[in-house]
Structure 1
Amino acid sequence: MNYSCSRYELKCNDCGKRFGNQPLSACPDCLAPLEVAYDLDAVRGVFTRENVAAGPPSIWRYVALLPIPDGFQPDLPVGFTPLIHAKNLGKRLGATNLYVKNDAVCFPTLSFKDRVVSVALANAQRFGFETVGCSSTGNLANSVAAQAARLGIKACILVPSDLEPAKILNTQVYGARLVRIDGNYDHVNRLCSQIADEYTWGFVNVNLRPYYAEGSKTVGYEIAEKLGWRLPDNVVVPMAGGSLIRKIRKAFQELIYLGLVEEKHVRFFGAQATGCSPISVAVKQGTDDIQPQKPNTIARSLAIGNPADGPAAAKMIRDSGGWAEDVSDVEVVAGMQELAETEGIFTETAGGVTTAVTARLYADGRISRDQITVACITGNGLKTTDALTGHYAEERAIRPRLADFGAYLEELDGTKEPELAVAGANHAN
């Protein structure tokens, strides 16, 4: 059944054939992926700076350019996360205009996946699915489980068996059915495609994928709005399947077409872990041909060895004049620590990848130190605390005595604190 909507419909990337609106992810004729195409002229008078500013402080302020079914009333305050001028991190890296888009605090499950899931589940309800699911490396599982619970929809989540314990727990707590698969993400995803056909369930990243992916555009809208309706010079984005980086670019293009921002050439930089870097490798080799890899990295949320949007992402990065880089697991942990120590942002391993790659790009001179650069942090560090196991010693306990505290400080840094001495003297008097 086709669910019509005048503002948007599915369109094949290759042959251009249109399919209206239905739970379909690939063109039956040429097998190319489908994307949501909008009648931008039809929303020109609706999607304005004034109307956006009058909207709620969430992704729903951009609803005119989201594939949300008519009559749907979203009430979950997803997105509209901070864009922080990262002065301390910038100083350490020698950069003056570095910003961090912090989706580590995205509501409700602390990752950017909350954006895409909210759009996908609106369409799951439209199409009448009674059960929804996903294949996931963690964050998507959390978000689908949480939002399905709120909407009263059954959820079945499939994940690789080696997923971080915190992400497993953060899925189970919402009452979702969790199935662990003895294999990597690519194995899980193939199984989900078969399940979607056999059980007629709505899988957010399978038969609902075109709608799901559009939620990522809101990252781009927010970057532009929070920069005062300007586009940055550079954006650094972590890559798993390769969709997020492409959708941020799509958001910028739509804003330019509608006249909300001045036209500007933005360069895009992809970030991956060396243990799973098929898109990065392709960019470095100057090709769009993705050679699948077997993931071997602590950055499990990026561990997709055969990314669906990999070829398109690699081409887009190169066309923008950008670059893709990958970093070791040691650098990933260092990136997590550096962002926390400088900006007070505790990010998961994917954010460690972004931070470490951003540092590399500055060091290699690929990004000018005075250009406006936005680094995208997509998830919260509380989900991947196991990556830091063994990096911090468990300090011994001391008695609740001022003298013990002073001695302990001397033990730590070899010096007495002048303020402590004064405070102790005043207390004695």
Structure 2
Amino acid sequence: MTQATLDTAVASLDTANFTALACKECGAEYEPKALHVCEFCFGPLEVKYDYEQIASKVSRESIEAGPKSIWRYKEFLPVAGEPIDVGTGFTPLLKANRLARRLGIKELYIKNDAVNMPTLSFKDRVVSVALTRARELGFSTVSCASTGNLANSTAAIAAHAGLDCCVFIPSDLEAGKVLGTLIYNPILMAVHGNYDQVNRLCSEVANSHGWGFVNINLRPYYSEGSKTLGYEVIEQLGWELPDHVVAPLASGSLFTKIYKGFNEFVKVGLVEDKAVRFSGAQAEGCSPISQAYKEGRDFITPVKPNTIAKSIAIGNPADGVYAVEIANKTNGNIEDVTDAEIVDGIKLLAETEGIFTETAGGTTIAVLKKLVEAGKINPDEKTVVYITGNGLKTQEAVQNAAGEPLTIEANLESFEQALDRARTLERLEWQQTLV
């Protein structure tokens, strides 16, 4: 990246709605370059916007007339020029009547990013924004540290944009996520170690090679893509805020950005303000944010991940403290569940709503169930649950829990016998749920 390219990228901000990067802790401001940490207090940097300018440009009608992707909200995103649009976003918000009845609540919605484009997870949102900004800043090689979904998205969208790509993953990831990255022909580095160790290595590579790492030196731009999950829910609910949201917690960034997205639409007058409760979901085998919340701490104690929910297994979450803060100030909750409960959550969502989610989604559904049973979700609340990835990527998690097909002979008698056995088993299972 040459100085001339960088100067051009910064100069192009004259017509953009973002003005600087600002430290979330001390407020120090920086030019919107490839930076992510404050050099004074080491706090995280966030994109600063001119909301008066945004309010003068947008309306409900202008948004509704935009593309059926995250780029209908371009005025709220940190890009100056033409975006990389691969159809990401505007995923379904499904009214989950059968799951709601099973749990004993009245109004439940599933925000289903398991069908997001192009790689079937919410990471397509953040990568679309990060790589658009990376291209504006003159990067020709992009990279990431990933637990799987981010590697898929970075490799796919880099291929579409014609950018060189080298991504890093822990070496024990699920086969579907490894294949889902390799197919796009990046350089894929499988590192012996957990995500936090991979991330530390990537920080060194970013410093030595000058690449654009979407979740390191491009993190302020990357994380803004998650706001679109908030915008879409507001629009899909008929320009209203929900009462309660439940979302998975990995780094904590998704959680905090949905909150930011809600507040931005209120700030520019697109939606009427009201209190929204925020509840987060973690796996018991990697629950540093949940532990901090339950113990009333304002700091995160790192843990070593040990869970099937690899996509949210971040032992030292960068935005964990901010997630705890949001849960507290919105009267929400943060809860964790066992691996067995995660598998049950995957199955519950599949058999009630026909959505096959990965382990992060199973975690979220299991926590939803746990919160309802504990009386921590009001049955009358309009509740939105965020499903962030597709179950086809983590088939190993449910391989021994989904059952087996009934193998029969090619005649009617064999079929009738098998059908009777299946119905008898189904009745027994149903009776067990009533005990």
Q: TM range, normalised to the smaller chain? A: over 0.9
What secondary structure, in the 3-state scheme, does the structure 2 residue paired with 1:111 have? coil
Letter in 1 for 2:194: N
Q: Does residue 1:318 correspond to 2:328, yes or no?
A: yes
Which among 271, 275, 290 is matched to residue 265 of structure 1?
Answer: 275
Which among 95, 99, 113 is matched to residue 85 of structure 1?
Answer: 95
Offset from partner CA, 1:318-373 (integer Å, 9 cap, x none): 11111100000000000000000000000000000000000111111111001111
Which among 151, 158, 164 is matched to residue 154 of structure 1?
Answer: 164
Letter in 2 for 1:196: A
Question: CA 1:261–1:396 in structure 2 vs 1: closer, same or farther (change >3 Å)?
Answer: closer
Q: Answer yes or no: is the 8 Å Cα contact 1:66–1:214 preserved in 2.
A: yes
Supply the distance in 2 between the matched residues of 1:393 and 1:242 (Cα, whole angstroms): 34
Supply the distance in 2 between the matched residues of 1:152 and 1:74 (Cα, whole angstroms): 11
What secondary structure, in the 3-state scheme, does the structure 1 residue paired with 2:166 have? strand
Which among 114, 117, 135 is matched to residue 107 of structure 1?
Answer: 117
Supply the distance in 1 between the matched residues of 2:39 and 2:88 (Cα, whole angstroms): 33
Which among 243, 247, 253 is matched to residue 263 of structure 2?
Answer: 253
- Tell me the TM-score normalised to structure 1 length: 0.95
Supply the distance in 2 between the matched residues of 1:234 and 1:281 (Cα, whole angstroms): 21
Q: Does residue 1:26 correspond to 2:46, yes or no?
A: no
Question: CA 1:414–1:218 in structure 2 vs 1: closer, same or farther (change >3 Å)?
Answer: closer
Residue 396 of structure 1, CA deviation:
4.8
Offset from partner CA, 1:248-298 (integer Å, 9 cap, x none): 010111111111111111110010000000001111111221000000000
Which among 42, 45, 48 is matched to residue 56 of structure 2?
Answer: 45
Residue in 1 aligned with 2:189? 179
Residue in 2 aligned with 1:61? 72
What is the aligned length?
Answer: 414
Residue in 2 aligned with 1:390? 400
Q: Answer yes or no: is the 8 Å Cα contact 1:60–1:74 preserved in 2.
A: no
Supply the distance in 2 between the matched residues of 1:331 and 1:380 (Cα, whole angstroms): 18
Q: Does residue 1:231 correspond to 2:250, yes or no?
A: no
Residue in 1 aligned with 2:433? none
Residue 414 of structure 1, CA deviation:
4.9
User: What is the RMSD computed on CA atoms of the aligned residues?
Assistant: 1.2
Supply the distance in 2 between the matched residues of 1:99 and 1:257 (Cα, whole angstroms): 25
Supply the distance in 1 between the matched residues of 2:164 and 2:223 (Cα, whole angstroms): 21
Q: Answer yes or no: is the 8 Å Cα contact 2:170–2:191 preserved in 1.
A: yes
Supply the distance in 1 between the matched residues of 2:406 and 2:104 (Cα, whole angstroms): 37
Supply the distance in 1 between the matched residues of 2:102 and 2:24 (Cα, whole angstroms): 42
Supply the distance in 2 between the matched residues of 1:412 and 1:12 (Cα, whole angstroms): 60
Residue in 1 aligned with 2:152? 142
- Structure 1 unaligned residues grouped into runs of 5+: 416-429
Residue in 2 aligned with 1:36? 47
Which among 381, 385, 388 is matched to residue 378 of structure 1?
Answer: 388
- Structure 2 unaligned residues grouped into runs of 5+: 1-5, 426-435
Supply the distance in 2 between the matched residues of 1:87 and 1:360 (Cα, whole angstroms): 18
Question: CA 1:242–1:356 in structure 2 vs 1: closer, same or farther (change >3 Å)?
Answer: same
Offset from partner CA, 1:61-96 (integer Å, 9 cap, x none): 0000001123x1433110100111110000000011
Offset from partner CA, 1:167-197 (integer Å, 9 cap, x none): 0110001101111111100000011011001
Q: Does residue 1:165 correspond to 2:175, yes or no?
A: yes
Residue 404 of structure 1, CA deviation:
2.1
Letter in 2 for 1:402: L
Letter in 2 for 1:256: V
Residue 21 of structure 1, CA deviation:
1.2
Which among 98, 106, 111 is matched to residue 96 of structure 1?
Answer: 106
Q: Answer yes or no: is the 8 Å Cα contact 2:406–2:418 preserved in 1.
A: no
What secondary structure, in the 3-state scheme, does the structure 2 residue paired with 1:68 have? coil
Q: Answer yes or no: is the 8 Å Cα contact 1:47–1:65 preserved in 2.
A: no
Residue in 2 aligned with 1:306? 316
Q: Answer yes or no: is the 8 Å Cα contact 2:84–2:161 preserved in 1.
A: no
Residue in 1 aligned with 2:3? none
| Bigger radius of gyration | 1
Runs of 4+ in structure 1 deviating by more than 4 angstroms, as ranges, are none
- Tell me the TM-score normalised to structure 2 length: 0.93
Supply the distance in 1 between the matched residues of 2:414 and 2:246 (Cα, whole angstroms): 47
Letter in 2 for 1:21: P
Q: Answer yes or no: is the 8 Å Cα contact 1:287–1:315 preserved in 2.
A: no
Residue in 2 aligned with 1:75? 85
Residue in 1 aligned with 2:289? 279
Supply the distance in 2 between the matched residues of 1:408 and 1:365 (Cα, whole angstroms): 41
Question: CA 1:219–1:412 in structure 2 vs 1: closer, same or farther (change >3 Å)?
Answer: same
Supply the distance in 2 between the matched residues of 1:412 and 1:346 (Cα, whole angstroms): 22
